[in-house]
Amino acid sequence: MSFSRWWMPLLFLAASLLSACERGPALVQREAYVFGTRVEVSVWGKPAQKAEQGLSAVLAEFDRLHRMLHAWQPSELTALNAAIARGEREITVSPELAFMLRDAADIAARSDQLFDPALGGLVALWGFHADEFKPQLPDPAALAALMRTPPRMADLTIADNRVTSANRAVQLDLGGYAKGYALDRAAAILKQMGINNALINIGGNVMALGAKGGQPWRVGIQHPRAAAPLAALDLRDGEAIGTSGDYQRYFELNGRRYCHLIDPRSGQPVAGVQAVSVLVRPRAGINNVGALSDAASKPLFIAGAGQWRDLARRLGIEYALRIDADGVMRVTPALRERLTLLATDIQVEVAPL
């Protein structure tokens, strides 16, 4: 089973791009293709057998989540969507899915519903619930009908492991959250196995544990318009970075690019933004570093040029950058201090929060 282009790489792993020549015998890596993207997990400083056990456990967990959360092939998530569409009330889901939905709903509320996993129906109408993207626009009547009662995470009531929706148009797609959740799960599994130095890369969503030979793990942020890294930074213990961009899951029609990131206010793909990256640091009260790094990049991408920094503050995001259609990278002071710029064709402006 494959998610194909549901989740695609948005960030390069610098263990591969920037420092491959430094790999030594203490580094054990495994690669796989899960969530429709390349996954790489690296463990540092453990005997090969111990490292392989940890890597196998993580990849097995990714496969489990892959099968649980697929947005259009049979899964627990599609079963929930079908029940919502039928108008069923108090639909029973697994405690784990209920947890994810509550967490996603909390992030949605804090982002003015710009991060909104309830709009899977819109994503499907635009053709992004498919293995290949066709350059065609959705049926205007179907789009207008869906937007008359626009689905929102706020339509859901989640009590224990029972879900009720006030809107039958809600169709959940956790593609903007689940890679980050998987990072959190991988980190927990590795720590439980006594593995404290690792780098987990799920198609460009990356989390660091510990360090690599006493040095921070280094990752590179993808250039949105070139097959090269835009910048590099060191990820410290427990930090995660997530990126959203218009350059992986998209189609072009009549000279216009239509990306998979849908503005829930208009029902249209977002235009005028090339990429957003956010870095989340572990701190008191934050138990979902990976999930937050994945989800928070979406509302900062969708929000207008004058709104994204306010949303970053409300989400507790201190480290962020956004590249608009003009090709200018606007970056918060905290992240600018951490970045090593590699591209020479990008203008940089520091954007205080």
Least confident of 54-58, 61-65, 247-251, 323-327: 247-251
pLDDT mean across residues, the chain: 92
Q: What does the alpha-carbon distance between residue 203 and residue 50 come to, in Å, rounded to a whole number?
A: 25
Q: What does the alpha-carbon distance between residue 323 and residue 348 come to, in Å, rounded to a whole number?
A: 9
Token code pair at residue 181: 């959740």
263: in domain? no
223: in domain? no
Looking at this protein, which amino acid is placed at residue 252? E
Residue 296 pLDDT: 97
| Domain span including residue 74 | 69-165
351: in domain? no
Look at residues 293, 215, 259, 271 and name the one whose alpha carbon lies nearest to residue 14.
Answer: 215
60: in domain? no
Q: What does the alpha-carbon distance between residue 118 and residue 172 come to, in Å, rounded to a whole number?
A: 4
Give residue-wise pLDDT tens across range 116-128: 999 999 999 999 9
Residue 133 pLDDT: 85
Give me the CATH number covering residue 98. Answer: 1.10.3980.10
H runs (alpha helix) in the chain: 14-17, 48-69, 76-85, 95-110, 120-125, 140-148, 178-192, 289-302, 308-314, 333-338
81: in domain? yes
Could you tell me the sign of the dihedral formed by the alpha carbons of 84, 89, 94, 99, in that order?
A: positive
Q: What does the alpha-carbon distance between residue 12 and residue 324 come to, in Å, rounded to a whole number?
A: 20
The better pLDDT of the pair 8, 262 is held by: 262
Judged against a pLDDT cut of 60, whether residue 8 lies above it is answered with no
Residue 204 pLDDT: 87
Confidence of residue 72 (pLDDT cuts 50, 70, 90): very high
153: in domain? yes
119: in domain? yes
268: left (phi over 0), alpha (psi -120 to 50) or beta: beta
Residue 5 pLDDT: 36
111: in domain? yes
> b vs e for 142-169, b when ≥16 Cβ sit within 10 Å of the residue's Cβ?
ebeebbeebbbbebbebeeeebebeeeb
List CB contacts of 154: < 8 A, sequence separation 6 or more.
105, 108, 109, 113
What is the total count of domains within the chain?
A: 1
H runs (alpha helix) in 197-288: none
DSSP 164: E
Strand 347-350 relative to strand 328-331, pairing: parallel
